Structure formats: structure tokens, C-alpha cells
């Protein structure tokens, strides 16, 4: 059997550079080798956006356009809309018995996100339990590998624990998946924050036009200790240089800029101008393809529909095995 990948994104906005280096690049590289399912996680997006369900439909299209624009081939890869696979919800409920509240409380990513999101009306149970729903996402497709950013590692660990428990308690039906982190485990935000994130407004999106990229690069956070361009500056931990390292293919130029920055012989503006140039060159073909695809939304919808149909068929197969293992096949039908 061909090994399988499951990964996904929340349709909370268009995808950004962090998604590219954290996960998309690996997905494109592995799509020939692995049977790949990509979940557009609208149910998970609702856990902290339940007051705005109207934004999901447009964002499902945005995310699918980004997938196609970076080179995911719909003849190989299945794009699956989470809420259109109701079996996922059933499996989530069964998994809930295999996880304690203490385990959820210890989850470092969940903890950080709860703090960051600052739920003023109390913590929704749906958000609190999303690691369990994510375990159902991964296991229902019997994935071996999950290409994700570093922030998702505790979720994969939680999934592995659930699988071990399930297989021990009931029957050996589920596969224990492995995480695969991208070349950049966690791309910082343009604000210097630890993570570029759709909902933090510190992103450069894959489909941003050049003038927007320029604006975002020129307003980027750099070395806070440096006041004048003639002050020696810090390269390490400076997001402008992190982006240069990742996106500027001219390594000699990057080394020269770092050297001059440390000595205080180059200003932030020049370093940013060069980054802008590298980024627009990187993004130009992605953006061109995205604009072209956006002109045929019906084709994109067909691709999503077909991927979801295949994903649901696989999920139904797994759920037959899950119900059998759990002795939920009563002679009552
Ligand atoms: P939201 O703010 O709605 O949570 P997000 O930007 O965190 O959005 P997700 O849809 O939650 O994006 O994440 C999708 C995938 O992209 C995950 O595997 C995640 O680890 C990865 N990812 C997201 N942001 C980054 C980043 N800055 N660096 C590396 N990987 C990232
Ligand atoms: Mg996220």
C-alpha cells in the first residue's frame, strides 16, 4: 500500500510564507511519493470563529487557490472539506473518552493559543478539545506522515497517544503517524512575533501583490537595539535576516549584507529593499498562477468536490473498521 499523508489548514484567510516553508513545500515535494489528503479544516476554524461562519466559504476557495498556485497537483492530491465528512465528528466523539482533561491542560500549543486568543466570554469546549478533533482528522485517513509547522508537534503527539490507546483497548485499526517539520520550523511574523499567523495580521500572503509585499517588508520589525544605520546591528533573531536566509537565493548577497549590518555599514532600508526584491521574485510565479486559477472558480470547486468525495469514501471505510473494533455493530439495523 502506498504510504499516506494527511495535513491541512484552517480556512481563516489566504495562506502565507509561514505555511509555505512550514508545510506546503514538503507537501509539493512528497505528492508523487505519498497518497496525499489535505484537509481544509473549517470545523476547526469555527472553534474560535463560531460567531463568523460566513467567512468560511470564501476562505475555503482562497486556501484551495493557494494549494494549486504553489504546485499541488489535483490529479494526485485530494483537497477535503472537513465539515463535509461527518464521520470525522463521530470519531472525535469516540476519541474524547480516550483523553483526560489533564492531558489537554498540559498541551503547550493549546495553552499558548488560549492565552493569545483571550476568549472574553469563557473558553469554548470546542476550542479546548480541538486537539482531539485533529487526531480524528489524521487517523481517519490512516496517515503515516503529517507535514506541519513546529506549533503542531504537540497535536501529533496527542494523536499518537490516542492511537496507542485505541489500538490497545479495541483492536489494531489505526496508524500511529509521524510529524514532519519543514525547513523552517516556525517562521516569525513581520512584527518580530514568534509565529507568522493568519489571525495575527503579521503575514506576507502568497498571493499578495508586489505593492503590498513592499509595504509589509518596509514596515518589518528589525533589530530594536539599533537606532542609527551606523550602529553595529544584530543579525541573529532579526526577522529580516531570517527571511533573507530562507527566501533570498543569492547567498553571497545575504552574507555581505549580514557582514555590513554587523559592522554598521548598511541601513535597514537597503536590507529591506533587497529582501523585497527576493520575495517578489519568489512570489511572482505563484501569484501569476493564482490570478489565472481565480478566473475559473467553477474548476476549483470541482477539484474540491472531487477530493472531498474521495476523502469521505476513505473515512467511511475506516469508520466501518472503527465501529467493528469498538463492538458498535449491533444486530439492530
Ligand atoms: P490561524 O491563525 O487561523 O491559526 P495559522 O496561520 O496558524 O492560522 P493554520 O491553518 O493554523 O495557520 O496552520 C496550517 C499549517 O501551517 C500548520 O501545519 C502550521 O504548523 C503551519 N504554519 C502556520 N504558520 C506557520 C509559521 N509561521 N511557520 C511554520 N509553519 C506554520
Ligand atoms: Mg494556527
pLDDT digits (tens, 9 = 90+) for 43-90: 999 999 999 999 999 999 999 999 999 999 999 999 999 999 999 999
> Which ligand sits nearest to residue 56's alpha carbon?
1
> Which ligand sits nearest to residue 180's alpha carbon?
1
Average pLDDT for 302-322: 98
Identify the residue whose C-alpha is closest to ligand 1 atom 8: 198
Give Cβ neighbours of residue 262 (< 8 Å, ≥ 6 apart).
232, 233, 234, 235
Q: Encode pLDDT of 235-244 as tens digits.
A: 999 999 999 9
What is the distance between the alpha carbons of residues 149 and 21, in angstroms, rounded to a whole number?
8
- Looking at the CA of residue 151, tell me the nearest atom of ligand 1: 20
Ligand 1 pocket, CB under 6 A: 9-10, 12, 18-19, 22-23, 148-149, 151-152, 186-187, 195-199
pLDDT at 16 over 90: yes
E strand or H helix at 37, and its extent?
strand 35-40
Residue 1: pLDDT band (50, 70, 90) is confident
CA 289-291-293 angle, to 5 degrees, is 70
- Indicate the burial class of 221 (C-beta count within 10 angstroms; 0-12, 13-18, 19 or more): middle
What is the reported pLDDT for 187?
96
Alpha-carbon distance values, 179 to 146, 148, 157, 158 (Å): 5, 7, 9, 11
Q: Encode pLDDT of 23-45 as tens digits.
A: 999 999 999 999 999 999 999 99
What is the distance between the alpha carbons of residues 31 and 3, in angstroms, rounded to a whole number?
11
Q: Encode pLDDT of 100-124 as tens digits.
A: 999 999 999 999 999 999 999 999 9
Q: Are 213 and 283 in contact (CB under 8 A)?
A: yes
What is the reported pLDDT for 242?
96
Closest CA to 6 of 138, 112, 128: 138
Domain 4-188+297-325: give its CATH architecture.
3-Layer(aba) Sandwich (3.40)
- Indicate the burial class of 18 (C-beta count within 10 angstroms; 0-12, 13-18, 19 or more): buried
User: From edge to edge, which strands make up the β-sheet containing 4-9?
Assistant: 77-81, 35-40, 4-9, 145-148, 178-181
Using most ligand atoms within 8 A of CB, pick from 5, 7, 8, 10 the residue to mutate for ligand 1: 10
Q: Encode pLDDT of 142-154 as tens digits.
A: 999 999 999 999 9
Give Cβ neighbours of residue 31 (< 8 Å, ≥ 6 apart).
72, 73, 76, 77
Q: Which three cell numbers stand for residue 301?
A: 470547486
Distance 262 CA to ligand 1 centre (A): 32
What is the reported pLDDT for 333?
74
pLDDT at 273 over 90: yes
Distance 229 CA to ligand 2 centre (A): 36
What is the distance between the alpha carbons of residues 299 and 318, in angstroms, rounded to a whole number?
29
Q: Which three cell numbers stand for residue 274?
A: 533587497
Distance 19 CA to ligand 1 centre (A): 6
DSSP 205: B
Using most ligand atoms within 8 A of CB, pick from 14, 22, 239 the residue to mutate for ligand 1: 22
Domain boundaries, the chain: 4-188+297-325, 210-290
Distance 54 CA to ligand 2 centre (A): 19
**In CATH terms, are 4-188+297-325 and 210-290 the same topology?**
no
Q: Are 221 and 191 in contact (CB under 8 A)?
A: yes
Q: Encode pLDDT of 160-210 as tens digits.
A: 999 999 999 999 999 999 999 998 989 999 999 989 999 889 999 999 999
**What's the topology of domain 210-290?**
Tyrosyl-Transfer RNA Synthetase (1.10.240)
Distance 16 CA to ligand 2 centre (A): 12
Amino acid at each position: 500500500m502506498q504510504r499516506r499523508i494527511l495535513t491541512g489548514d484552517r480556512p481563516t484567510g489566504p495562506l502565507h510564507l509561514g505555511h509555505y516553508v512550514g508545510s506546503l513545500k514538503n507537501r509539493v515535494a512528497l505528492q508523487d511519493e505519498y497518497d496525499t489528503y489535505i484537509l481544509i479544516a473549517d470545523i476547526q476554524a469555527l472553534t474560535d470563529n463560531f460567531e463568523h461562519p460566513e467567512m468560511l466559504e470564501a476562505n475555503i476557495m482562497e486556501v484551495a487557490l493557494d494549494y494549486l498556485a504553489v504546485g499541488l497537483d489535483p490529479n494526485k492530491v485530494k483537497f477535503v472539506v472537513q465539515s463535509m465528512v461527518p464521520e470525522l465528528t463521530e470519531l472525535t466523539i469516540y476519541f474524547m473518552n480516550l483523553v483526560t482533561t489533564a492531558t489537554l491542560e498540559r498541551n503547550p500549543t493549546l495553552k499558548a493559543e488560549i492565552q493569545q486568543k483571550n476568549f472574553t466570554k469563557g473558553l469554548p469546549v470546542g476550542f479546548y478539545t480541538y486537539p482531539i478533533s485533529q487526531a480524528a482528522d489524521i487517523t481517519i485517513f490512516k496517515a503515516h506522515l503529517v507535514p506541519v509547522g513546529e506549533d503542531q508537534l504537540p497535536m501529533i503527539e496527542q494523536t499518537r497517544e490516542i492511537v496507542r490507546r485505541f489500538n490497545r483497548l479495541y483492536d489494531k485499526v489505526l496508524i500511529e503517524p509521524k510529524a514532519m517539520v519543514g525547513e523552517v520550523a516556525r517562521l516569525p511574523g513581520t512584527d518580530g512575533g514568534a509565529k507568522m499567523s493568519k489571525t495575527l495580521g503579521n503575514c506576507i500572503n502568497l498571493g499578495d501583490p508586489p505593492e503590498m509585499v513592499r509595504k509589509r517588508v518596509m514596515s518589518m520589525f528589525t533589530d530594536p537595539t539599533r537606532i542609527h544605520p551606523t550602529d553595529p546591528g544584530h543579525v541573529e533573531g532579526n526577522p529580516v535576516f531570517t527571511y533573507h536566509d530562507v527566501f533570498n537565493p543569492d547567498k553571497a548577497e545575504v552574507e555581505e549584507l549580514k557582514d555590513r549590518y554587523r559592522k554598521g555599514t548598511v541601513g535597514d532600508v537597503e536590507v529591506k529593499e533587497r529582501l523585497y526584491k527576493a520575495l517578489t521574485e519568489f512570489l511572482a510565479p505563484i501569484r501569476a498562477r493564482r490570478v489565472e486559477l481565480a478566473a475559473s472558480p467553477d474548476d476549483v470547486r470541482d477539484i474540491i468536490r472531487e477530493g472531498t468525495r474521495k476523502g469521505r469514501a476513505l473515512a467511511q471505510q475506516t469508520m466501518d473498521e472503527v465501529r467493528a473494533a469498538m463492538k458498535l455493530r449491533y444486530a439492530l439495523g
